[in-house]
Amino acid sequence: MSFCEYSGEDPILKEYIEKIDYSIVRKGKIFDLYQRFFDILLSFVGLLIGVPIILIFGMLIKIEDRGPILYKQERLGKHGREFYVYKLRSMRTDAEKFGAQWAEKDDPRITKVGKFIRKTRIDEIPQLINILKGDMGIIGPRPERSVFTKEFEETFPNFVYRLAIKPGLTGWAQVNGGYEIGPGEKLEYDLYYIKNRSVMLDIKIVLMTAKVIFTGDGAR
């Protein structure tokens, strides 16, 4: 059974996406409806709290290097559907002058303000708009760029299986490793969630995410 929605120009990536085995996804439409209600509710609450935070850190980002406050980047969502994700800018404006690069530990491209907003996940707040639009959910694998999805699929078979469900603002991989874990380890965490997703696991992820936001503990 294939749900490929990828409309990009890379035939190899499209072929990879078409092979996704959706039988690994635990739960069905009722669980998806619960998650959608959960997504909308938390997004509205998050935006009420988050808009002032965006304004404050937006000014700090602007003061630091005069560059743009926000940036958008194309990512792959459920079934390989392409969409733009929005974030507070945490890297220098010339971060990808040599092309797409995977973020690394102590990445020199990260600004001073960027280090803090990445550690506390403040840079992700604008993605609440993506969640309201239905591109993402609160919980799920982090949305990845098509260029990296193709590259990682060739090194870590079944990396595209992460596209079997909606990507998320937070998730099992994020709370267990954050930005610094490699794609192979990320895949293991994401597949675990896809195969075992449940209300209790979602609650655990939300609580672990809250701990990262308020204390920075665990945001490795």
Is pLDDT at 102 greater than 70 in this prediction? no
Is pLDDT at 43 greater than 70 in this prediction? yes
Number of domains in the chain: 1
Average pLDDT on 143-167 reads: 95
In this prediction the pTM is 0.84
- Are residues 190 and 160 in contact, defined by beta-carbon separation less than 8 angstroms? no
Is pLDDT at 98 greater than 70 in this prediction? no
CA–CA separation, 67 vs 63, rounded Å?
8
Q: How confident is the model at residue 220 (pLDDT cuts 50, 70, 90)?
A: very low
Residue 133's closest CA among 179, 166, 109?
166
Query: Residue 194 falls within a domain, yes or no?
Result: yes
Q: Residues 103-136: pLDDT tens digits?
A: 666 677 888 998 898 888 899 999 999 999 999 9
Full residue range of the structural domain in which residue 97 is found: 11-215
What is the structure's pLDDT at 216? 62
Average pLDDT on 169-181 reads: 85
**Residue 204 dihedral angles phi and psi, to the nearest 5°:** -60, -45
Query: Residue 4 falls within a domain, yes or no?
Result: no
